[in-house]
Structure 1
Amino acid sequence: MPRGKQTDTKLTLVSQFFYPDTSANANVLSELAVGLEERGFDVSVVTGQPAYAPNDRRDDQPRREMYKGVAVRRIFSTRFDKNESTVKRMANDVVFFLSAFLHLLFKRDEMGVLLLPTAPPFLPILGWMLSRVRGYEYVPVVLDLYPDMAVELDYLSEDGVVYRVWDQLNKRAYQAASLTVTIGETMEETLTEKYGPCETAVVHNWEDGSVIQPKEKANNEFSRKHDLVDPTTILYSGNHGMHHDLESVVEAAATLEDSREEDLQFQFIGEGGRKVTLVRMTKDRDLDSVSFLPYQPVEQLPESLTSGDIALVSMQEGVEGLCVSSKFYTAIASGQAILAIANEETEIARIVEEVNCGIRVDPKRPGQIVSAIEHWLDNPDEMRAMGERARSVFEERYEKEEAIDRYATVLRRVTT
């Protein structure tokens, strides 16, 4: 594929999170920027200092640097621990928004088309503001659909002033955008139902299948180190966030620990707002089958993410059409059977049931989780077959290179 630059393909990705932040969105957006650069776009990035997890906040990164051929500019931003309070999370978001607005205000000719993922969640409004005062073209990338997501998470009231103002600004931002990319079909449907006719395209998130590959646990150093080789391992790796129903998993673990003789291990990896509650539940119930680890270094991910037999993907009730869990793509890439805690209307539920690569259960139904795991314990060959089908559908639909090719195709609509 030609890699030569063209003068009409200048893109600036504006995102609160970018390499070396450890969030899933930072990883996807970093790979997207590099991939578009390789496909002939002239890509630059405007971001803040790493702030997603405690290790990310430990060191400052250069204000200017080149990352795999992409020019990165880090602007002023706060780095509060977002898990400590909603106020600190919002402070990080608002400060980055204002800092990005001031940075871009007088740089129209240098920036080209703005690529605006919802990180922070109201970033598409930045594009609309800059288009009004400086004539920018912009493309929102909807990773999570706010403010409705904030309502479902009980951060906002649908009757409140903040929601109404945000919603009206969103309508203007999406209708004025050159193109809006969503990461799922149900999200695209929700967006157009809420905000009316606008130019949209669906490009799913992805995983790098050359990095995350199925691996026998006996040959997996991470599995050996953490005693995960022999137990049937249910793995959850990622943000222990507020829109994930993880308490039901701990409750199911307590039931299974009392009722089954098989060797089971529920391994949680990551951080987030629900982790304190989950750890407390585990201690209160004196569970030996539930354990917790922090986020793992990037170089460890090919083994930590493939250390389970069953990959757990969870979405809270009410967020259908508002988000698609990035963990889903990693889970199917790893070749594990998928335990999807999600309503049947969600994107991941549709895929799991369509290709029979796992079992879907309803949120807040620990008994259904128990039944699913018991089914796999009684039918281990079926569990392995589901994992193989998960990897197959990943290779068919969600490989990194094909997804970035799709981005390049749709973005050329507005850059040429």
Structure 2
Amino acid sequence: MLGKKKNEKKKLLIYAHYYIPDVASTGQILKELAEGMLTEFDITIICVVPSYTGKVNNEYKIKRFFNEEINGVKVLRIRVPEFNKNNKVSRIKNILAYFFGALIATFKVGKMDYVYSISQPPILGGLIGIWGKLVKQAKYIYNIQDFNPEQTLAVGYSKNKFVLNTMLLLDKFSCKRSDKVIVVGRDMVETLKGRFEGRQVPNHVFINNWIDEKEIHPLPDDHEGVVAFKKKYGLENKFIIMYSGNLGLYYDLERIMSVIKKFNYRDDVIFAFVGEGSIRDKLVSYKENWNLQNVSFIPYQDKSDLIYSLNAGNVHWCVNAKGIKGVSVPSKLYGILAAGKPVLGVLEKGAEARLIIEETKCGYVTEPGNYEMIEKIIEKYLNEKESSTITLMGEQGRAYLVENLTKDVSIEKYIEEIVSC
């Protein structure tokens, strides 16, 4: 019988920019989202070849497009040039290669019922989604993980008013042309409404990001994987205050290093930074210039090892620079909660991550820029390191995550919202 089968799955195209095996947090989230929605949709991903670190393996340099299938998800990868994260020009070339490659790749994936894109790369992610909607005559869902140009303005990456105003107009256009906007924080709902001054606000919904609570969970201190991680990176017999994630512009880490410097006399604590990013070299230089003995830099961990690194930390940073409230939600919070660890939060009042920390009492938190209070919180944790307070905080965070922030809960919401478009 010709025609569409009665029970044939709807086809969903996802523009992902980064996708596994890249370690970008959005790539990991989209991997779990795509695989979790396979029961409902036939899913195709358009993304770049693995290149989050700036390097591209030789196997991905031989042609422009690469077709793969990963765990039932079709993946169409676009070759992009290598780039240096500290060089704006090379980053722009890399991003534009993805943008124009994605426009062409859209013609290669056949009919689609739904198109889904995220707000990365900034502005271009939304425009690619509109392109997909037009070419495929499909419903378009725009997932805003980060608001731009608001994020760009907050960290001073650009102060060119013409550029910023143009960015805002383009991203508002993407919001207007979408059939549904999905944001990842309660504070981000207010930002969306503010963009449109409460008038003709696009159809929208709030869905938390998540982590797979079955993959990341609490482990005892003497677990062999945790012990091996500590031994490998010289963290044994230390109270570990850990930052795990992107070492980028949006976290005020350079100034926080000046607070960490004040604890250089303490040999019982170590500040571990796990990850890579555009300011890593600056942080390493600061450590070397001030001869900080209790600061350690550790490379990104494979996903299979993430459970050990997160459990190795006694306390975890969750920070954002001033101005990020309502613009972005640090996804690292979910990993901290999943591992059952307390939080050292540097977040604005009313920010989604801070609301969760305050509601669950899973850590101490202060405002970005309040370096005196950051120092006091570090001292407080050091004074409590032998107490049950830290354990209780971690347990409270884990309990909240299991109840409210699991992968299954959020993915079911995504399915419902996409189907209802």
Tell me the TM-score normalised to structure 2 length.
0.90
Alignment of 1:320 onto 2:325: yes
Aligned residue among 204, 226, 232 for 2:239: 232
Match of 2:46 in 1: 46
The match for 2:201 is 197
Partner of 1:96: 98
Percent identical pairs in the alignment equals: 27
Partner of 1:69: 72
2: CA distance between counterparts of 1:297 and 1:317?
30
Matches within 5 A, 1:245-284: 245-258=252-265, 260=266, 263-284=268-289
CA distance in 2, matches of 1:241, 1:208: 24
Partner of 2:308: 303
Amino acid at match of 1:44: T
Confirm or deny that 1:128 pairs with 2:130: yes
Matched, 1:349 2:349: no
State the Cα distance separating 1:224 from its structure 2 match.
3.5
Displaced runs of 4+ in structure 1, greater than 3 A? 4-8, 58-62, 106-109, 129-136
In the TM superposition, residue 75 of structure 1 has moved relative to its aligned partner by: 2.4
Please give the alpha-carbon distance, in whole angstroms, between the structure 1 residues aligned to 2:392 and 2:299: 30
TM-aligned CA distance change 1:43 to 1:8, over 3 Å: same
Question: 1:373 Cα deviation (Å)?
Answer: 1.7
The equivalent of 2:363 in structure 1 is 358
One-letter code of the match for 1:65? Answer: E
Identify if the C-alpha distance between structure 1 residues 108 and 293 changes in structure 2 by more than 3 Å, giving closer, same or farther.
closer
Conserved 8 A contact 1:6-1:42: no
Tell me the amino acid that sits aligned with residue 137 of structure 2.
G
CA–CA separation in structure 2 for the residues paired with 1:102 and 1:157: 32
Do residues 80 (structure 1) and 87 (structure 2) align? no
In the other structure, the counterpart of 1:371 is: 376
8 Å CA contact 2:320, 2:346 repeated in 1: yes
CA contact (8 A) 2:310 2:335 kept: yes
CA-CA distance at 1:59 after TM superposition: 4.9
- The within-5 A match list for 1:146-185 is 146-157=148-159, 159-160=161-162, 162-185=163-186
Change (3 A) 1:232 1:176: same
1:131, CA displacement in angstroms? 4.0
In structure 1, distance between residues paired with 2:179 and 2:158: 29
Partners of 1:304 and 1:385 lie apart in 2 by: 20
1:6 touches 1:40 (CA, 8 Å); kept in 2? Answer: no
Q: Are the aligned partners of 1:268 and 1:291 in contact in 2 as well (CA < 8 Å)? A: yes
3-state SS of paired residue (2:17): coil
1:301 CA drift (Å):
1.2
- 1:293-317 alpha-carbon deviations (Å, 9 max, x no partner): 1112222111112210101111011
For 1:148, give the aligned amino acid. E
Output the CA distance in 1 between the equivalents of 2:242 and 2:274.
8
| 1:34 alignment counterpart | 35
**Conservation of the 8 A alpha-carbon contact between 2:112 and 2:136:** no
CA distance in 1, matches of 2:6, 2:343: 41
What's the counterpart of residue 111 of structure 1?
A: 112
Query: Structure 1 166/250 Cα, relative in aligned 2: closer, same or farther at 3 Å?
Result: closer
Whether the 8 Å CA contact 2:111–2:136 is kept in 1: the answer is no
Match of 1:90, as an amino acid? Answer: I
Counterpart in the other structure of 1:381: 388
Any stretches of 5+ residues in structure 1 without a counterpart? none
2:250 aligned with 1:243: yes
Q: Any conservation in 2 of the 1:151–1:158 contact (CA below 8 Å)?
A: no
TM-score w.r.t. length of structure 1: 0.91
Separation in 2, partners of 1:59, 1:245? 35
Shift of 1:108: 8.2
Shift of residue 192, structure 1, vs aligned partner: 2.2
The alignment partner of 2:364 has SS state of strand
2:222 aligns to what? 218
Structure 2 counterpart of 1:401, which letter? D
Indicate whether 1:19 and 2:34 are aligned: no
Q: Show CA shifts across 1:328-356 (max 9, x none).
A: 11111111110011112311111111211
TM-superposition CA deviations, 1:199-250 (whole Å, max 9, x none): 1111111111111111222222212333434211101111100011212432
Moved more, 127-136 or 90-99: 127-136
**Aligned AA (2:246):** N
- CA offset at residue 28 of structure 1? 0.5
Q: Alpha-carbon deviation of 1:179?
A: 0.7
Deviation at 1:109, TM superposition (A): 5.2
Residues in 1 aligned to 2:49 and 2:308: alpha-carbon distance in whole angstroms: 28
Q: Is the 8 A contact 1:238 1:270 kept in 2?
A: yes
Aligned partners of 1:228 and 1:308 also within 8 Å: no
What code does the residue aligned with 2:158 have?
L
> How many angstroms does 1:159 deviate by?
1.9
Q: Which letter does structure 2 place at the counterpart of 1:138?
A: Y
